[in-house]
Each structure stands twice: as C-alpha cells, then as structure tokens.
Chains A and B, each alone.
Chain A
Amino acid sequence: MQTEYLVDVNEFCASHNIEISFISSLQQNGLIEIQTIDKNGFIVVDQLPQVEKFIRFYYELDINIEGIEAISHLLDRIRSMHDEIIVLRNRLRLYEQSI
C-alpha cells in the first residue's frame, strides 16, 4: 500500500502566514483537494507546490480566486501544448532525417 503524506491545513496556514479561509476558497473552487480526517483538514504533500503557487498569485499579485482559476486552466493548457510541441518537433526531426 502506498503511503500518502498529508499536511495539516492549520499548520500550513500558520507557517505561510495566510488565512484558512483562503485554502477553503481554493477547495470550494475545485483548485485543490482537502482530505478530512477526524474533522481536521489535510493537504496531500504532492499538492503543496501548486498551493504555494496559488498563495503567491493571491498574496503577491492580488489575483482573486476567479483569476487564479482562469490562470490555472491556461497554465495547464500551455503545459499540454508545450508537451505537444516536443512530440511534434521530434516527429519532424524523424521525417527530416529520412529525407
């Protein structure tokens, strides 16, 4: 069975000096998942970089939750297009070599 590492939402918020309501908003908008164990909220460790990125958007750039949602979708699209470019570039390389 795979071990899942979780971080307590309260501790996370305290260490980042942010409000818990912000994390709740991210969850309500489907941007992150919170696991509830014994009435306590936890963030899966794998999600931390993403959550920290959202914190920077919100607290440093003054982007609201709706903006974060839009940006998140666009960044996902950029990432998938970037991956597609790599595949197409490699395919082109293969055909160029065979000419």
Chain B
Amino acid sequence: MDFVDYYKILGINKTATEKDIKSAYRKLARKYHPDLNPDYKDANRKFQQINEANEVLSDPEKRKKYDQYGKDWQHADEYEKQKQYERQSATSGRQRFSGGQSESDFSDFFENLFGGSAGTGRSRQAQYRGEDFKAELQLNLIDAYKTQKQTLTVNGKKIRITIPAGIENGQTIKIPGHGGPGRNNGPKGDLYITFSIADHTRIKRLGDNLYTTVDLDLYTAVLGGEITIDTLDGQVKLKVAPETQNGSKIKLKGKGFPVYKNEGHFGVLFVTWNIKIPTNLTDKQKELFTELSKS
C-alpha cells in the first residue's frame, strides 16, 4: 500500500488547525460529491480520498499517529508494542516489524484502520455510499428494437437486467445497488450501463424515427405498382403511386422505432425512393424511349 498524503489531498499544510481541516474538507466534499457530479467518473474516487483524509486528520489521535509515523502510521499501536517488547526482552535477536498487510485498495485500508466512523457535517453518523461502477454495453439496432433480458457479470456476480425497447445510443441506465460496497453501513453504489448501438447498414435511426432509402425501377416509378421492402419489423408491401419522383419520401406511421418505456408506441419509418435508370438498353428499348421523348 502506497503512502497517502492526507494533507496534500485536502490541500492544507501540516500546521493546519481543526478549523482549517474542516473548512478544506467541506469545500472539497462539495466539489467532488458524487451526487453533484453525475457524469464525472473520477468524482467517487476523489470523494473517498477526501473522506479518508478527513477521517484521519480531523481526529487528533489519528492525526498524531499519522504525523509521527508517516507511511507506517496505521501500525502505530503495533509498532509501539513491538518497541516496548524489544526494550523489555533486551535480546540480541531483533525482529524488525514488517507491514504484515497484503496490498489492498483504498477502501480496505480505510475499513481496517478505523472500523467505526467519525461524525461529519450535522449530527449524523457518517455513512458513505459505495463506488459507482460504469460499464458499456454494445447492441445492434435490431437488439435495441425489442425489450430484452441480458445477464451481466459484475464483480463475479451475475445480474439479470431488462433493457427496454427503444433505448438510445449513448443512453445510460442505472442499476441501483450493484456498485461497490458502502462504508460504515452506507448503501452500495450503483451500476451505470451506457449503451452503444451499432448502425444498421440500410436503416438509420434518429430518435424514434427510422430512415431508409429504397431502390425503385423506372417503370414502377412511372407507371405505379407494388414493392416489398424490409423493415426492422419484417417485410412490408407498399403501393407505389404512378409518376413517383426520385428522392420523394413516404411516411409509414407505426413502423419506426419503439418509443422508450412507452409500450405499443412506435415512431415513423421514412422511405426515400431512389429511382434506378435502366442501363444496357437494347436497340428496341432505345427506340421506344426516343419515341417517348418526342410524344
């Protein structure tokens, strides 16, 4: 475990008074509190550091040990006992005190040291919410079209989540209580999943509406007819009006994307006609076109 400079974390010097510590803590806690920084990934970690620094420096006894022993201050009591034992035994076979603690993260360190908690702010025991976890989940446009259940593994635990149809690319959903553990019986953090929805090759999405371009042969465009197109909901047969212009659009209500958390409601599918001019015309066809152009 690396030495953590609590004075540096709170931005104060070693001669800081209790009032200075309290003031520095309040200022930083307000700046980095996770509730006030919903989209700032580092806020939770910084907030935990600030809390930890405050817990140590605002307690005169802990602060004294920290000032005296620096890096090894958390073992101050054991260290003192060891020194006393060494003095009493006065033997030559000196034992050097070794950390004896495996490398652990910030929170383990914190819990091991203090167990209980110190009060902060108004008269209420300080409980700290666990760290929020963030994850990204990739979906295809077709996956996002229907409500689906997925099983994710978070910190070795399997959790089953329901992804409502119509979820937006870049949208984040919160799974409460699946983040890191809280401190001093504080609540667990939350899990935030941001969705990255891959594009569809032919159908584009904008909000609840879908956009597609469909090729139409010249003869159907001129004379009218029927054409079958692909939608995310399967194939749809459409009537093509005679004299349909290139680039013109039709709207298919209810064939768009599902409206998020609004079951049974769908956006609009916009179909843009792309009229294909025939190529490799035969002499006879050219003749007919020439005749048409003169009529």
Contacts and interface: CB of A to CB of B under 8 A. Distances in A.
A82 interface: yes
Contacts of A66: none
A61 B26 contact: yes
6 contacts: A17-B124, A58-B122, A63-B30, A71-B36, A79-B38, A94-B211
A97 to B, nearest CB: 7
Nearest to A55: B124
Contact of B120 (A16, A52, A60, A97): A60
A44 B16 CA distance: 45
A74 to B, nearest CB: 9
B224 interface: no
B169 A86 contact: yes
Interface stretch (B84-92, B198-206, B245-253, B273-281): B198-206
A79 B121 CA distance: 27
A91 B206 contact: yes
A66 to B, nearest CB: 15
Contact of A53 (B26, B35, B126, B207): B35
A49 B204 contact: no
Interface in A42-83: 49, 52-53, 56-63, 71, 75, 78-79, 82
Contacts of B169: 86, 89-90, 93
Given A53-B35, A56-B129, A62-B122, A90 B199 contact: no
Interface residues of A, number: 28
Nearest to B29: A61
A90 B206 contact: yes
Given A91-B206, A94-B205, 20 more contacts: A17-B124, A17-B125, A56-B33, A56-B35, A57-B33, A58-B122, A59-B122, A60-B124, A61-B33, A62-B121, A75-B36, A78-B39, A79-B38, A82-B39, A86-B171, A87-B168, A89-B169, A90-B205, A93-B199, A94-B204
Contact of B176 (A49, A63, A90): A49
A18 B122 CA distance: 10
A86 B211 CA distance: 18
B187 interface: yes
A71 B129 CA distance: 19
Interface residues of B, number: 27
Contacts of A62: 26, 121-122
B170 interface: yes
Nearest to A60: B121
Contacts of A91: 206
Shortest 9 CB-CB distances between A and B: which pairs? A86-B170, A59-B124, A59-B122, A60-B121, A53-B35, A62-B121, A59-B121, A61-B30, A94-B206
Contacts of B39: 78, 82
Interface in B1-55: 26, 29-30, 33, 35-36, 38-39
B104 to A, nearest CB: 25
A91 to B, nearest CB: 6
A91 B168 CA distance: 11
A87 to B, nearest CB: 6
A97 B199 CA distance: 10
Contacts of B38: 75, 78-79
Contacts of A49: 176
Nearest to A58: B122
Contacts of A16: 124
Of A18, A79, A87, most buried by chain B (CB within 10 Å of CB) is: A87
Interface string B160-182: 00000000111100001000000
Contacts of A82: 39
A72 to B, nearest CB: 10
